[in-house]
Amino acid sequence: GEDVEQSLFLSVREGDSSVINCTYTDSSSTYLYWYKQEPGAGLQLLTYIFSNMDMKQDQRLTVLLNKKDKHLSLRIADTQTGDSAIYFCAPGGKLIFGQGTELSVKP
Task: Name the site residues for another protein (rule: CB under 8 A).
Answer: 4, 29-31, 33, 35, 40-45, 48, 88, 90, 92-93, 95-100
End-to-end CA distance of the chain: 40
Handedness of CA 104, 54, 5, 93 (dihedral sign): positive
3 state DSSP class of 83 = helix
Residue 31 or 77 having the CB closest to another protein? 31
Q: How far is CA 28 from CA 53, 75, 94, in A?
A: 14, 24, 9
Q: Least distance to another protein from the beta carbon of 14, Å? A: 25
Residue 40 or 107 having the CB closest to another protein? 40
Residue 33 or 62 having the CB closest to another protein? 33
Q: Least distance to another protein from the beta carbon of 103, Å? A: 15
